[in-house]
């Protein structure tokens, strides 16, 4: 019996060795054919049951993970917040003629929600409305973010004043040929639009922020043939929030003599009304759509709740480090500065990411990662629909993907591929990822 078990174990190990050798040859050929430098590609593939390394290349080299980092941070975040957590915006009465709105940095708060809040205010008694924005720090961006790219809808400002996704929607409408187009701003955002768009033969729009004149001045130029809808990141979240709140108050015939003021909630304030949005919505948004603003907000809220103080990015990083320590995950070589992976100051190895995935293979959160046909994988690797759960990452010169793969053989693997390469386009990098994962599926 012992000899039989030893033979089975030997054949199993031999099979793994053959698999690894075959995979290495195929991978090396694919990377060479892609014309991406092998030194720019980090790969780690491990058996999900045993943790055995099946294939590795540059797997201990520190690279920029881009949004694959969200896998590392969302698990500590959701654990700290708790399953029953909701984003809350609360209305309180303060004495006989004052109200206080306590912000929860809710990334899903809308101007319609503000309407429902102001509807609970007694117009005959109110003289003053206070806003408590102390839930997280007053810091609009993360460390190492590309602040000069402030019209990028993937890198939005975020703070306690989150509202309407921190975006302004406009529609540019054509008029008569060679005449100025018309800009529709249904949100009545406090922006000034310098309209230099004319009606022409095609849609060719350029949007820029004229910081010389004002950070709230948006220059729009080019031509428009058919209606074009654009989304512009809000530059001043507090200004936008206060404008929309004032509009909601005035719609309820509430005209304040005193300006909106910031004040912290006190123990004597009495809760009147709450607007809530579930954490589950945010988890899906992060893992399927890679929403940076949402996970960054969640991260600060989680740090604040865990340490019972105002949420900061410093405490969010501490939370991640403490999670790793508690779960015996060696993160001594990893450098994490934000939750989203937007900052190029973030560094991780492919080996670390697969180890993290191994530790969390039974965590219910990882089941919410995208599969082919959904989210950021909506057009990728569709034949592997039921066999792949992964998180993608994209930054300038960077592409990455990591997750869980059930091979054609039925065996399960964790994998991470990171490509930090400035000489090729994003489509080339993602095509290489697709080919590598396909080979894993058929060969393992």
- pLDDT for 33 equals 80
Pick the CATH number of 19-81+281-443 from 3.40.50.2000, 3.40.710.10, 3.40.50.10490, 2.40.160.40: 3.40.710.10
- pLDDT for 326 equals 95
Strands in 98-203 per DSSP E: 98-102, 128-132, 167-173, 182-184, 192-199
Is residue 383 classed as helix, strand or coil in its secondary structure? helix
Q: Could you tell me the two tokens for 44?
A: 């780690």
Q: Per mean pLDDT, which range of 82-86, 254-258, 299-303, 407-411 is the poorest? A: 254-258
In angstroms and rounded to an integer, the radius of gyration of the C-alpha atoms of the chain is 26
Pairing of the two strands 412-420 and 167-173: unpaired
Mean pLDDT, to the nearest integer, of 110-119?
A: 97
- pLDDT for 20 equals 58
pLDDT digit string (tens) for 394-434? Answer: 998 999 999 999 999 999 999 999 999 888 888 999 999 99
- 167 close to 192: Cβ distance less than 8 angstroms: no
| Phi/psi of residue 389, nearest 5 degrees | -130, 120
User: What is the residue whose two structure tokens read 């319609």?
Assistant: 112
Mean pLDDT of the chain: 91
Give the count of alpha carbons within 13 A of 131, CB side only: 20
- pLDDT for 213 equals 63
Q: Is the pLDDT of residue 9 over 70?
A: no
Distance CA 343, CA 299 (A): 15
C-alpha distances in Å from residue 320, one per residue of 16, 317, 369, 387: 34, 5, 19, 29
- pLDDT for 11 equals 44
Q: Is the pLDDT of residue 228 over 80?
A: yes
pTM: 0.91
Q: Could you tell me the two tokens for 21?
A: 């050798």
Mean pLDDT, to the nearest integer, of 165-192?
A: 92
Distance CA 156, CA 292 (A): 8
User: Which pLDDT band holds residue 22 (cuts at 50, 70, 90)?
Assistant: low
């Amino acid at each position: 019996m012992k000899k039989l078990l030893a033979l089975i174990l030997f054949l199993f190990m031999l099979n793994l060795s053959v698999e690894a050798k075959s995979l290495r040859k195929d991978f090396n050929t694919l990377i060479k054919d892609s014309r991406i430098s092998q030194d720019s590609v980090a790969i780690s593939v491990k058996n999900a049951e045993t943790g055995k390394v099946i294939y590795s290349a540059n797997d201990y080299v520190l690279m920029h993970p881009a949004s694959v980092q969200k896998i590392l941070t969302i698990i500590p975040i959701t654990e700290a917040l708790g399953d029953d957590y909701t984003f809350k915006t609360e209305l309180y009465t303060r004495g006989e003629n004052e109200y206080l709105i306590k912000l929860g940095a809710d990334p899903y708060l809308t101007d319609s929600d503000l309407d429902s809040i102001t509807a609970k205010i007694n117009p005959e008694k109110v003289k003053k409305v206070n806003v408590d924005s102390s839930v997280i720090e007053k810091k609009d961006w993360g460390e190492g973010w590309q602040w000069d790219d402030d019209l990028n809808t993937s890198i939005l400002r975020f703070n306690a004043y989150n509202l309407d996704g921190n975006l302004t929607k406009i529609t540019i409408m054509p008029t008569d040929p060679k005449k100025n187009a018309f800009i529709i701003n249904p949100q009545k955002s406090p922006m000034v639009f310098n309209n230099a768009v004319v009606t022409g033969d095609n849609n060719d729009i350029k949007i820029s922020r004229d910081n010389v004149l004002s950070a709230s001045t948006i220059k729009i130029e080019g031509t428009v043939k058919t209606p074009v809808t654009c989304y512009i990141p809000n530059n001043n979240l507090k200004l936008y929030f206060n404008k929309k709140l004032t509009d909601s108050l005035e719609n309820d015939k509430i005209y304040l003599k005193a300006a909106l003021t910031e004040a912290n909630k006190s123990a004597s304030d009495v809760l009147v009304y709450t607007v809530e949005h579930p954490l589950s919505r945010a988890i899906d948004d992060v893992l399927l759509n890679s929403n940076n603003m949402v996970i960054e907000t969640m991260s600060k809220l989680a740090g604040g709740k865990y340490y019972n103080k105002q949420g900061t990015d410093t405490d969010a990083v501490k939370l991640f480090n403490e999670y790793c320590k508690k779960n015996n995950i060696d993160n001594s070589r990893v450098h994490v500065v934000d939750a989203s992976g937007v900052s190029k100051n973030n560094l991780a190895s492919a080996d670390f990411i697969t180890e993290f995935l191994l530790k969390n293979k039974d965590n219910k959160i990882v089941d919410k990662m995208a599969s082919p046909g959904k989210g950021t994988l909506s057009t990728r690797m569709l034949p592997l629909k039921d066999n792949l759960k992964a998180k993608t990452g994209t930054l300038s010169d960077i592409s990455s993907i990591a997750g869980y793969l059930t091979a054609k053989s039925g065996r399960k693997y964790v994998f991470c591929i990171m490509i930090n390469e400035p000489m090729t386009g994003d489509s080339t990098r993602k095509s290489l990822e697709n080919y590598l994962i396909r080979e894993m599926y058929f060969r393992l």
